[in-house]
Amino acid sequence: MTTMTDTSLREFKMPDVGEGLTEAEILKWYVQPGDTVTDGQVVCEVETAKAAVELPIPYDGVVRELRFPEGTTVDVGTSIIAVAVEGAAPAKEEPAPPKPAPAPAPKKTAEGRKPVLVGYGVAESSTKRRPRKGAVAPPAEDTLYAATAIQGELNGHGHGQVSVGRRPLAKPPVRKLAKDLGVDLATVTPSGPDGVITREDVHAAVSPPKAPEPGVPGVPGVPGVPGVEAPGPAAPAVAPAPAVSYDGARETRIPVKGVRKATAAAMVGSAFTAPHVTEFVTVDVTRTMKLVEELKEDKEMRGLRVNPLLLIAKALLVAIRRNPDINASWDEAAQEIVVKHYVNLGIAAATPRGLIVPNIKDAHAKTLPQLAESLGELVSTARDGKTSPAAMQGGTVTITNVGVFGIDTGTPILNPGESAILAVGTIRLQPWVHKGKVKPRQVTTLALSFDHRLVDGELGSKVLSDVAAILEQPKRLITWA
């Protein structure tokens, strides 16, 4: 052990992990007092109003104190952990504020990132944290992320980790999945490289095994993540609902904070600012469903997510190209309508932390395979709870797929700053008049909500009609493009 003359106490402060956000909640500590930490090691997970972020420490040392317990909301700039750094200058010569991120961390755009595919699914109990067991600290040597999320930049490139002692090898999101499902990692047989436990290993260890939840008729999907096609046997399953005991209490109060608080404020602001109009159309999408099956066999689409949402997204992009005035926003201060010549396509996704709407940047310029790849990355990142604040900003129009919940249609509220949102209902076999005869056809109902300040009934109707026409006759994706 080093003496105090050989060490200096450094304070790691809560960084601005969003873009101007002022506070974050400490979700989980990965270290405890006495643990050794290294430069770049993740020490805690925090949640802002936009996303969950894992923070790495920017120096080597020994943890002396955790300033706040889990579940505490801390202001940006407040010290959250004290670390004794060996071989440093005396404390009085140390600059007080440490750097919140390693210097080499490059700044990257949201579009250029590829998320780590280690999600924790959509378990109902995901937002509940169990107390730590005794004095056993969470793994202190996980180095999944190399740089902290500063000014809207999230960590996005995981490359395994180093483990100390006899602790099972697993990345932080996999540990969270195990905690949510009540799985002891020590009992899990690893299948990853170098003995690393994967999320598939955790799901396989759940006892008794739960049969996959049935998808929506005609539309295979993962419940809770709109528009996602089930990836196969390794798809996250919904955890069995734990027995709940209220100890005689007649009410339970849940603090409104983080993503849920931000979403609630945004929805109230949108609903009482923009005059909403919603129109509906029911359409035969049998040909679109056949095209989906054909594309799955196409070598150009091999390895990509191909599902109805992909073609619905493409249909909306074509409809916007034919009716560009729909892709606009209302500037209240300048009293101007701002028409966007690009489409950042938002996809509403239900996650364990609430509803978020990340968007695909410049979706209008993407080919079908590129759009499929972007949708797959967006959904996987949302499922993992690692969607960056930057990915949720700058959207122009949004799609919400309520059909994955077995819902026929709805009246969606506009994402703030956008002019339109398309709701897609469940696709199911229904009796339909086709070529003069009543036949069973794949049918769905679309709903388009729009801001009536800048989108009149004619424009909204044209856009919805174009989307429906393309889904009825998907060859229009070629003739109209």
pLDDT, tens digit, 9 for 90 and up, residues 400-457: 999 999 999 999 999 888 999 999 999 999 999 999 999 999 999 999 999 999 999 9
SS3 428: strand
Which of the pair, 151 or 134, is modelled with greater confidence?
134
Q: Does some domain include residue 99? A: yes
- Do residues 165 and 298 both lie within one domain? no
What is d(CA 291, CA 185) in angstroms, rounded to the nearest whole number? 43
Provide mean pLDDT across the span 318-334: 94
State residue 188's pLDDT score. Answer: 85
Q: Would you say residue 416 lies in a domain? A: yes
pLDDT higher than 80, residue 480:
yes
**Region of poorest pLDDT, from 277-286, 326-335, 350-359:** 350-359
Domains contained in the chain, number: 2
224 part of a folded domain: no
Place of tokens 């990965």: 30
Statement to judge: residues 280 and 379 lie in one domain: yes
Of 184, 205, 226, the residue at which a domain comes to its end is: 205
Does residue 452 have an active-site annotation? Answer: yes
Residues 199 and 265 in one domain: no
User: Domain for residue 241, yes or no?
Assistant: no
Does 201 share its domain with 263?
A: no
In terms of DSSP H, where are the helices of 135-218? 172-181, 199-205
pLDDT at residue 243 greater than cutoff 60: no
pLDDT score at 176? 67
Residue 180 and residue 74 share a domain = yes
Top-confidence range, 160-169, 318-327, 380-389:
318-327
What is the β-pairing status of strands 397-401 and 345-347?
A: parallel
**String of DSSP letters for 219-283:** B---TTSTTPPP-STTSPPPPPPPP---TT-S-------HHHHHHHHHHHHHHTTS-EEEEEEEE
Report which secondary-structure segment, H or E, holds 318: helix 308-322
Residues 152 and 282 in one domain: no
Which pLDDT belongs to residue 144? Answer: 27
Rg (CA), the chain: 24
The residue among 204 and 314 whose pLDDT is bigger is: 314
Which of 205, 229, 249 terminates a domain? The answer is 205
| 212 lies in some domain | no
Q: By percentage, how much of the chain surpasses pLDDT 70?
A: 70
182 and 278 fall within a common domain: no
What are the pLDDT digits (tens) for 169-194?
877 667 767 777 778 887 888 888 77
Domain presence at residue 220 = no
Is there a single domain that holds both residue 186 and residue 47?
yes
Which amino acid, one-letter code, is at 474?
P
d(CA 254, CA 41): 32
- In this structure, is residue 150 part of a structural domain? yes
CATH number at residue 468: 3.30.559.10
pLDDT at residue 374 above 70? yes
Among 203, 276, 434, 452, the active-site one is 452
306 and 421 together in one domain: yes
Last residue of a domain, one of 186, 205, 224: 205
317: tokens are 């992009």
pLDDT band at 326 (very low <50, low <70, confident <90, very high): very high
Q: Which two tokens stand for residue 426?
A: 């469940």
Distance CA 139, CA 161 (A): 10
CATH code, domain carrying 150: 2.40.50.100
Domain shared by 195 and 273, yes or no: no
The alpha helices in 92-220, defined as continuous H runs, are: 172-181, 199-205
What is the pLDDT averaged over residues 357-386? 92
Tokens for 2? Answer: 């080093």
Task: Answer yes or no: are the C-beta atoms of 450 and 270 closer than 8 Å.
Answer: no
Residue 214 lies in a domain: no
CA dihedral 166, 167, 171, 177 (to 10 degrees): 140
Same domain for 267 and 330, yes or no, is yes
For residues 269 and 201, membership in a common domain is answered with: no
**Mean local confidence (pLDDT), 349-374:** 90
The pLDDT, as a whole number, for residue 259 is 67
Domain with 19 in it = 4-205
Mean pLDDT of the chain: 75
